Amino acid sequence: MSTTSETAYPLMEAFYTLQGEGYHSGKPAYFIRLAGCDVGCHWCDVKESWDAGLHKITSIEDIVSGAMAHPSKFVVITGGEPLMHDLTELTNNLIEKKYELAIETSGAYSLSGTWHWICLSPKKFKAPREEFYAVVNELKVIIFNKSDFKWAEEHAAKVNKNCKLYLQVEWSKRDELTPLLIEYVKQNPQWRISVQTHKYLDIP
């Protein structure tokens, strides 16, 4: 757990856009990207978020004020790995302002905060904690190699029955693996494909 104060967090960036992937794809959202991650995905497209020390410690008041400057009441907290920080106070403050809160996490750290939607995106480099499988709303597995389909099924077997299942090709492998992804989902209809629509739309 981070030693960061519960009233302030290392904020890499915050921006208003559309959720680009997963269950809430296409929904206007205010993204809060917290810095700090030790999961170490070599294909991560925000490696600049890994070192929390490079980013400004920002008060909850300033973070919430940023969200309030935009019309959507949907906030996504991501990283980095956001659960390296205790998110209780941040989520409490946002909920007081009537925000709907979603988190995107690898599940490598204990769950903190109050959430309306939990997206678990497990990584091979640091396994998720068992506590997540019972509470996640969405399982989103990144497909980088053909062997990842089997790995995805291992996680799907653990989640609760209401969890939505998504497979998402790693962006640099999209030409090679998308046809396999399509065929796999056709044969295994419990899964859906998550497309990184924000990259096609050229938005954050």
**What is the block-wise mean pLDDT of the chain (204 residues), using blocks of 10 residues?**
69 97 98 90 72 89 98 96 96 98 97 98 92 98 95 98 97 95 98 96 93
- What is the model's pLDDT at position 43? 63
pTM listed for this prediction: 0.93
Residue 165: both structure tokens together:
């299942």
What b/e sequence results for 8-38 when a residue is b if at least 16 CB atoms lie within 10 Å of its CB, and e otherwise? bbbbbebeebbbbbbbbeeeebbbbbbbbbe
Q: What is the distance between the alpha carbons of residues 191 and 140, in angstroms, rounded to a whole number?
A: 10
Overall size of the chain counted in residues = 204
CATH superfamily of the domain spanning 8-201: Aldolase class I (3.20.20.70)
